[in-house]
């Protein structure tokens, strides 16, 4: 039986246009991108906007923040249309424009758009995915950012891309072709792949195809994916620390290998559109219609039925549809739009206290 949800809605933030992306700068700053090309940075102690970028012309599909010495407000890479922009958000003015960007890089042609961007832990590389199925990586250490496009692409929209934890050269992408692709991004070559099939989902019949709509990596190498038919896919093959005995480090992450343990189960009705690991074995996700669920991942379980344990679920209060969900410390931020079609962000806190833990 599920436990009561320990999180409380401490604040609902409203914006003129739907929220399309979210990112924490740190526990006290929330970055929010909108459909109308506006980026806002909220102070979570006052819930006021500290800084904003306006007029980027396209939806802000993804945000990647990083710390710069001497600045309390994180810098941000922003994916918008077919370009990425780098902004120093401690700029003198409160409101900036595209002209304030430190760097602008056009990554794809005009008929393509960016979906997700991700920074590697060293902040030297940025990965990206696109509507055309393209996956790429950018070397940020060069004077002019050098772009490497992977030598294999997805057969449909590539919704997600992530760096593999503790693997400096590896990324995993996923998309509407129901496929995960695993690359050495420095060489641009595929290392492994896996396609989800309906046969993995044994409960009932779904009218939705198994589009992969969201992914998340735990710090220990567990890969999770949210599917359009309401299924949750968990890959344990790349998880570190399962064995009590020391084992030789493998040459590459093996999370997609057919020989490794994975599970795909129907958990909700409707697409799972956003997810985040709040701890190495705790996954929080949201459906399109705002059903938020937490699972505990029991990677060492011999019984496959006990690998995924639902802990609680709770419905969003103000959101009609969800586009983004992120976690940090004791907080969850969920963004999308409300019944009136305008943007909305719910801030949940496990303590039920409005103030942040910075």
Percent of the chain's residues with pLDDT above 90: 82
**Mind listing the pLDDT tens digit for each residue in 297-317?**
998 877 777 899 999 999 999
For 69, the token pair is: 């010495």
Domain boundaries, the chain: 13-240+252-349
CA distance 310 to 294: 6
The DSSP bridge pattern shows strands 321-328 and 331-337 to be antiparallel
**Mind listing the pLDDT tens digit for each residue in 28-45?**
999 999 999 999 999 999
Q: What is the mean pLDDT of residues 180-205?
A: 80
Based on C-alpha coordinates, what's the Rg of the chain?
A: 19
**Mind listing the pLDDT tens digit for each residue in 256-294?**
987 778 899 999 999 999 999 999 999 999 999 999 999
**Mind listing the pLDDT tens digit for each residue in 128-166?**
999 999 999 999 998 888 999 999 999 999 999 999 999
CA distance 97 to 293: 37
End-to-end CA distance of the chain: 34
Confidence of residue 358 (pLDDT cuts 50, 70, 90): very low
**Mind listing the pLDDT tens digit for each residue in 83-107?**
999 999 999 999 999 999 999 999 9
What is the topology classification, in CATH, of domain 13-240+252-349? Methylamine Dehydrogenase; Chain H (2.130.10)
Q: Would you state the pLDDT for residue 175?
A: 96
Q: Do 34 and 26 meet the contact criterion of CB atoms below 8 Å apart?
A: no
Of residues 19, 11, 107, the one with CA closest to residue 63: 19
DSSP 38: -
**Mind listing the pLDDT tens digit for each residue in 207-233?**
567 899 999 999 999 999 999 999 999
HSE-CB of 185 using CA atoms within 13 angstroms = 30
DSSP 50: E
Helix or strand holding residue 1 (H, E)? none
Residue length of the chain: 358
């Amino acid at each position: 039986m599920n436990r009561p949800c320990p999180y409380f809605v401490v604040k609902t933030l409203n914006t003129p246009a739907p929220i399309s992306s979210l990112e924490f700068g740190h526990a006290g700053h929330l970055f929010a991108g909108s459909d109308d090309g506006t980026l806002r940075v909220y102070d979570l102690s006052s819930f006021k906007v500290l800084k904003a970028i306006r007029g980027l012309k396209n939806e802000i599909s993804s945000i990647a923040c990083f710390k710069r010495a001497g600045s309390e407000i994180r810098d941000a890479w922003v994916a918008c249309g077919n370009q990425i922009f780098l902004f120093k958000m401690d700029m003198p003015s409160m409101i900036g424009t595209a002209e304030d960007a430190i760097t602008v890089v056009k990554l794809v042609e005009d008929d393509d758009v960016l979906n997700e961007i991700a920074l590697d832990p060293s902040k030297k590389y940025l990965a990206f995915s696109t509507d055309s199925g393209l996956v790429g990586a950018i070397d940020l250490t060069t004077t002019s950012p050098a772009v490497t496009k992977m030598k294999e692409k997805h057969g449909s929209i590539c919704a997600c891309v992530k760096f593999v934890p503790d693997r400096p050269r590896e990324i995993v992408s996923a998309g509407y072709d129901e496929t995960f692709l695993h690359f050495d991004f420095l060489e641009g070559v595929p290392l492994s792949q896996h396609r989800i099939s309906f046969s993995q989902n044994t409960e009932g019949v779904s009218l939705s195809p198994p589009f992969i709509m969201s992914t998340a990596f735990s710090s220990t190498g567990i890969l999770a994916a949210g599917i359009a038919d309401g299924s949750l896919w968990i890959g344990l093959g790349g998880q570190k620390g399962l064995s009590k005995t020391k084992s030789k480090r493998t040459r590459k992450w093996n999370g997609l290998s057919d020989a490794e343990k994975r599970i795909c189960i129907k958990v909700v009705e409707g697409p799972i559109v956003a997810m985040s690991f709040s701890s190495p074995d705790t996954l929080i996700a949201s459906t399109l219609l705002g059903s938020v669920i937490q699972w505990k991942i029991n990677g060492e379980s011999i019984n496959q039925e006990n690998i995924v344990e639902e802990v609680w679920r709770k419905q969003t209060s103000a959101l009609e549809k969800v586009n983004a969900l992120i976690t940090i410390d004791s907080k969850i931020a969920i963004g999308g739009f409300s019944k009136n079609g305008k943007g909305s962000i719910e801030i949940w806190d496990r303590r039920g206290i409005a103030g942040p833990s910075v």
